Chain A
Amino acid sequence: MKTKFVDSDVLIIGGGMAGCGAAYEARYWGRNLKIVIAEKGQIERSGAVAMGLSAINCYMGMRWNENTPEDFVKYVRNDLMGLIREDLVFDIARHVDSTVHLFEEWGLPIVYDEQTKRYKREGRWQILIHGESYKPIVAEAATKAATEVYNRVMITHLLADAEDNNKIAGAAGIGVRDGAFYVFRAKAVIVAAGGATHVFRPRSVGEGAGRTWYSPWSTGSAYALLIAAGAEMTQMENKLVVTRFKDGYGPVGAWFLALKATASNAYGEDYELKYREEQRALYGNYVDAKPFPTCLRNDAMLREIKAGRSPIFIHTEKVLDTREKEELGHEDFLDMTMSQTIVWASQNIDPKKRPSELQPSEPYIMGSHATCSGAWASGPTDLSSGEYVWGYNRMTTVRGLFGAGDTIGGSAHKFSSGSFTEGRLAGKAAVAYIVEGATDKKPLIAPGKVESVRDEIFAPMETYKLGRNMITRGTVSPFYLYPDQGVVRLEKIMDEYVGGWGSYYTTNEVLLNRGLELLGMLNEDLAHLGAENLHQLQRAWELRHRVLTAEAVLRHTLYRKETRWPGYCYRSDFPGVDDKNWHVFVNSRRDPKTGDWSLFTRPYVQLVGVEGT
């Protein structure tokens, strides 16, 4: 097979929202640099925004004095049960408006309120857009900014510098179309490879397995690449469970916030307030936060479902009283979750006439939503202090290795606009890292490393070729595992031992240790993955990335001896929030040489005062 070497100054892994922001900004500040994007899909429709979006969920509106970055930090801190990197969240908030104004100039149709002449608000932080072409528009800007975009190249490994193992020198991957082995050598690398689905068993089965709320092509590469490179990770136990329309996974934001729909139990009763005192006993004053934290809303719903009073209904029929509202409700799904419209059509559910069912999803791993798993990153020098800053903004603990969007931990509620903004921050910082002479030498990869990574990447094809002749035909072989079979094993382990929907998101130390044992065996079995063709080879590496992500999630969940985010995950052996001991970040690092993990805590630092201080 061919080996293709690509040299650049800045390599961006993943051309989704964050990767596109990184390319744009790196080019703005680094006019003469070579900027390369390696994208697993096709940049025009790759990533979680492939279908489009109907709202931008992170916009301050500072020009109309609607919100300040301080307000935003308070909101996100409350929603995440008091545990966020306030410096990173503040940084997104103070820049995000300029990103949204840029989008509008580029041609993204933003909805205006005819009376106020301002952007129409869906909620305090959300604005409505006609976002079918959100991704193609953003991709157009990024494609113009980048020197080259390599579509259909899946990055499988980061490559360390030959002389300094904690410094980045590039990345390697598979050309999924041309079958080539790609080696990218770069002075700075920005990982923007999105979140992770199919780590936990999805609610959907069979043909519908692809119907996860977050995209099935979010395969945890962002986390696995960084973990394997020895970067420090944070909040990996902060998995996300979202309440969505049942089966179709239609988002609820526009319905609850803009259309003011309400939810009830099977008998039409409001249930959310009912559990407040039980919740207070376990989770303390967080129950008084306004708005009510997302995970506690899930918790109330789960209590009602366990009490046998499901289905939970969302009463669309009570709010769609005009054609305008009917259009808004439908556009919400047609712009970002067509499957929900198909569920309505196929099951004869006219939302004007009948309510729909709601259900909490399987857990996802993300850094950009109402959750913040990901890499531990250096913050901006004017906001961050102490353990939060060691160099360039959004640089991980590996020198020259940056991240943005779902990749970066501790900074929730970025969504699409904030992820693009964080990409911009990382893009500028990467240029500064290069320009300031941190790297005048060419990136150097150790002799023999390229060959050994190549052999490792393509091994599943060899395994398949050899094993294939030892059975007549079919999918059952003692010599290899198909990637799909491995995914199902992973999902089952995570669901049953690490708190998936099948166990009501509940786990304990004994379950977790047993899960770790089984995950270890799965890890060993991955040496026997078989890939029939290039496509299956991509699936094999996606699985490997998911498994490494899963291991981090499990180890973090085991380490945090409390239930910080009920409704996302419960430690039944430590059922309450324990602020005295656990109002800290759980961080981890896996030694790239030995594969040994270390887990430890990092302090929470308050940047923005609470109300009245």
Chain B
Amino acid sequence: MPTYVNPNKCDGCGKCVDICPSDIMRLSNSIFSGRKAYNVEPNYCWECYSCVKECPQHAIDMRGYADFAPLDHKLTVLRDKETNEVRWKLKYRDGSKNEFAFPIRTTTWGSIPSPQSQKTPTNEQFDSQLLSHEPEYLKTDRGLVTAKR
């Protein structure tokens, strides 16, 4: 609605609360069921799946927007940062199914070199129109072009 949380799976870790770009996942605290996440403002949910992908318990699911998505459908996702693959499972209202898998990254998480680890630029570079890694990363003999004024 659009996201909803399965109370039997959620352990109240708060990861969904931390990641949601819309700031709409919340933790409720009840003496009966303990800390559980829920979507506090479904009409500000973009169905972006950020929280779904992040939940370690796979407790969050999506039910398409009530105003135009009929019931009985399912789109579930598994994002694996070890194999760097995202897998989607799709179930239609009429019961038919489809599955897809796509790569998400070609390098190890955390491996990006920081800009401060690059060679210190010269004053000449600083005074030019060049950006970091240029002209090398433009990969063209033309170098950085300028227009005739």
Residues of B near A133 (CB, < 8 A) are 86, 104-105
Residue in B65, B86, B149 whose Cβ sees the most chain A Cβ within 10 Å: B65
Q: In the complex, what distance in Å separates the CA atom of A45 from the CA atom of B96?
A: 32
Residue of A nearest to B135 (CB): A98
Tell whether B73 is near chain A: CB-to-CB under 8 Å.
yes
Asked if B126 and A432 sit within 8 Å, CB to CB, the answer is yes
- CA separation between A28 and B119, bound complex, in Å? 9
A122 within 8 A of partner (CB): no
Within 8 A of A (CB), among B116-133: 116, 118, 120-121, 126, 129, 131-133
Chain B positions within 8 Å of A331 at CB level: 100, 102
**CB closest chain-B residue, reference A91:** B129
- Nearest chain B CB to A127 CB, angstrom units: 14
Asked whether A1 is an interface residue with its Cβ less than 8 Å from the other chain, the reply is no
In whole Å, how far is A543's beta carbon from the nearest beta carbon of chain B? 12
| Cβ-defined contact, B138 with A50, below 8 A | no
- Quick one: which of B109, B132, B140, B145 contacts A424, CB cutoff 8 A? B132
Give B44-66 as 1s and 0s: 1 = Cβ < 8 Å from A's Cβ atoms: 11111110000000000010111
Stretch at the interface among A209-217, A458-466, A557-565: A209-217
Q: Are A385 and B149 in contact (CB under 8 A)?
A: yes
Q: How far is the CB of A520 from chain B (nearest CB, A)?
A: 27
> Is B103 interfacial (CB-CB < 8 Å)?
yes
B62 CB contacts on chain A under 8 angstroms: 338, 342
Q: Please name all residues of chain B whose beta carbon is closer than 8 Å to the beta carbon of A42 when the two chains form the complex.
A: 18-21
- A residues less than 8 Å from B44 (CB atoms): 209-210, 216-217
Q: Is A428 an interface residue (CB 8 A)?
A: yes
Contact B102 A334 (CB under 8 A): yes
B23 CB to closest chain A CB (Å) equals 6
* B75 and A98 contacting across the interface, CB-CB below 8 Å: no
Give a binary string over A40-67; 1 marks a CB under 8 Å from any B CB, 0 the rest: 0110111100110000000000110000
Q: A51-B49, A98-B133, A331-B100 are in contact. Are A132 and B79 (CB under 8 A)?
A: yes
**Is A208 a contact of B68 with CB atoms below 8 Å?**
yes
A-side contacts of B47, CB under 8 Å: 210-211, 338-339, 342
CA–CA, A348 to B72, complex, Å?
Answer: 10
| B residues near A98, Cβ cutoff 8 Å | 131, 133-134, 137-138
A207 to B66 CA separation, bound complex (whole angstroms): 6
Interface majority SS on B: helix, strand, loop or mixed?
loop
Q: A90-B147, A208-B68 are in contact. Are A109 and B103 (CB under 8 A)?
A: yes
Name B102's contact: one of A47, A130, A344, A385 (CB within 8 Å).
A130
- When A70-B147, A339-B65, A345-B91 are in contact, do A97 and B43 touch as well, CB less than 8 Å? no
Q: Closest CB-CB distance, A540 to chain B, in whole Å?
A: 13
Contact of A514 with B by CB under 8 A: no
Q: Report whether A47 and B21 are in contact in the complex, using a CB–CB cutoff of 8 Å.
A: yes
- What residues on A are CB-neighbors of B142 within 8 Å? 62
In angstroms, Cα B47 to Cα A557, docked, is: 33
**Minimal Cβ-Cβ distance residue in A for B120:** A31
Contacts of B121 in A (CB 8 A): 28-29
Query: Is A97 a contact partner of B69 (Cβ separation < 8 A)?
Result: no
Tell me the smallest distance from the CB of A589 to a CB of chain B, in Å.
27
Interface positions of B from 64 to 84, Cβ below 8 Å from A: 64-75, 79
Q: Is the CB of A204 within 8 A of B67?
A: yes
- Counting chain B CB atoms within 10 Å of each CB, which of A70, A247, A330, A342 scores highest? A342
Q: A343 on the interface (CB 8 Å rule)?
A: yes
A206 to chain B, nearest CB (A): 5
18 A-B pairs whose Cβ atoms sit less than 8 Å apart in the complex: A24-B115, A25-B131, A31-B120, A50-B48, A69-B147, A90-B147, A95-B138, A132-B79, A145-B114, A206-B43, A208-B43, A210-B43, A216-B44, A217-B22, A345-B91, A345-B93, A382-B129, A608-B147
Binding site for A on B (CB under 8 A): 1-2, 18-23, 40, 42-50, 62, 64-75, 79, 86, 88, 90-94, 96, 98, 100, 102-112, 114-116, 118, 120-121, 126, 129, 131-134, 137-140, 142, 144-147, 149
The 7 A-B residue pairs whose C-beta atoms are closest, nearest first, are: A107-B107, A208-B65, A98-B137, A345-B73, A63-B139, A346-B73, A28-B115
